[in-house]
């Protein structure tokens, strides 16, 4: 069940009992359903864009954002992601910057708020998901290319200025539950001095199952998550900041400080 009711204060999680056979059957059912759903998403999005694109870039982006939002809501329901949050949802035209545990962060945030993401270039070559995501307007970046990183960040800035909400994970990598993050400066230097509303955001899961770190493979990690009856995540939207008021380094430090303070607080309470 997908929930988006605002709740304040600490959130306590209790992990459900694990039944191996039931988990295996659930994983098979969830992944087979997701594969069929992913096929439909990819084909529908690419065909629909043939009809929408002639009406202009803004119409194409609005349609792509709406399709992705519904895709993420369906994926959240399918994988049993239960979401609670505190703080108001980001307004349209916001730049959300968050800590990063795995690809499930994208599903959770995308299910809550219609938005665009920045994804690594390798995803564009993944069967089904890559073509569908590209058609829907996901921006891709080659992480080892400074030129590609700069161009991708400028694309995100233009979308925010056009009124679209964008989510970015400035750490550039995933971390474990309870670990503080170190944000890279690139994004903040691009948007510094512009009237962009930055929304620092913290994500916390009920356990470390969501963490895609170390040597874990994508398929193996996805199977383990699909076997879980539910995955609880708490999302904290912190006080918005105006990028016009500070330089890039100061913006990074402010966002990083708010996110890390929330992580440290939840770790002590947990």
Which of these, 35, 63, 45, 32, lies nearest to 133 by C-alpha position? Answer: 45
* Per-residue model confidence (pLDDT) at position 168: 94
**Would you kindly state where each structural domain of the chain is located, as residue ranges?**
20-269
Helix (H, G, I), strand (E, B) or coil at 37: helix
The segments of the chain whose pLDDT lies below 70 read 1-19, 267-270
* Per-residue model confidence (pLDDT) at position 2: 41
Q: Could you give the CA distance from residue 159 to residue 153 in angstroms, rounded to a whole number?
A: 10
C-alpha dihedral sign at 173, 178, 183, 188: positive
Which tokens belong to 190? 């691009």
Q: Could you give the CA distance from residue 173 to residue 240 in angstroms, rounded to a whole number?
A: 23
CB atoms within 10 A of CB 57: 10
Strand 241-242 and strand 197-205: the pairing is antiparallel
Do residues 115 and 61 make contact, with C-beta atoms less than 8 angstroms apart? no
* Per-residue model confidence (pLDDT) at position 18: 58
Which tokens belong to 196? 């962009």
Which tokens belong to 32? 């087979």
Which of these, 192, 197, 171, lies nearest to 247 by C-alpha position? Answer: 192
Helix (H, G, I), strand (E, B) or coil at 197: strand
DSSP assignment string, 65-106: HHHHHHHHHHHHHHTTEEEEEESPPPPTTEEEEE---STHHH
DSSP assignment string, 116-136: EEEEEGGGGGSTTHHHHHHHH
Do residues 162 and 169 make contact, with C-beta atoms less than 8 angstroms apart? no
Do residues 202 and 175 make contact, with C-beta atoms less than 8 angstroms apart? no
201-211 per-position pLDDT tens digit: 999 999 889 99
Residue 70, CA distances (Å) to 44, 115, 138, 155, 159 in order: 13, 11, 14, 23, 19
* Per-residue model confidence (pLDDT) at position 4: 40
3-state SS of 198-219 is EEEEEEEECCHHHCCCCCCCHH
Q: Is 268 exposed, middle or buried (0-12, 13-18, 19+ CB in 10 A)?
A: exposed
């Amino acid at each position: 069940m997908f929930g988006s009711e605002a709740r304040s204060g600490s959130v306590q999680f209790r992990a459900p009992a694990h039944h191996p056979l039931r988990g295996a059957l659930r994983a098979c059912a969830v992944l087979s359903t997701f594969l069929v759903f992913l096929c439909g998403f990819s084909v529908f999005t690419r065909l629909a864009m043939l009809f929408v694109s002639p009406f202009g870039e803004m119409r194409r982006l609005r349609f792509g954002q709406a399709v992705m939002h519904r895709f993420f809501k369906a994926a959240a329901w399918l994988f049993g992601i239960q979401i609670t949050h505190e703080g108001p949802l980001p307004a349209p035209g916001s730049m959300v910057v968050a800590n990063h545990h795995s690809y499930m962060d994208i599903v959770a945030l995308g299910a809550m708020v219609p938005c665009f993401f920045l994804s690594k270039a390798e995803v564009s070559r993944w069967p089904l998901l890559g073509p569908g995501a590209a058609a829907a307007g996901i921006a891709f970046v080659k992480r080892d290319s400074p030129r590609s990183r700069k161009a991708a960040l400028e694309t995100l800035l233009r979308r925010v200025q056009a009124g679209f909400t964008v989510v970015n994970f400035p750490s550039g990598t995933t971390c474990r539950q309870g670990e503080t993050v170190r944000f890279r400066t690139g994004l903040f230097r691009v948007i510094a001095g512009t009237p962009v509303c930055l929304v620092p955001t913290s994500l916390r899961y009920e356990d470390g199952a969501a963490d895609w770190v170390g040597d874990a493979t994508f398929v193996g990690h996805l199977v383990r998550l699909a076997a879980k009856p539910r995955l609880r995540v708490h999302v904290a939207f912190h006080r918005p900041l105006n990028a016009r008021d500070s330089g890039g380094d100061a913006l990074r430090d402010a966002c990083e400080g708010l996110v890390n303070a929330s992580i440290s607080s939840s770790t002590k309470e947990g």
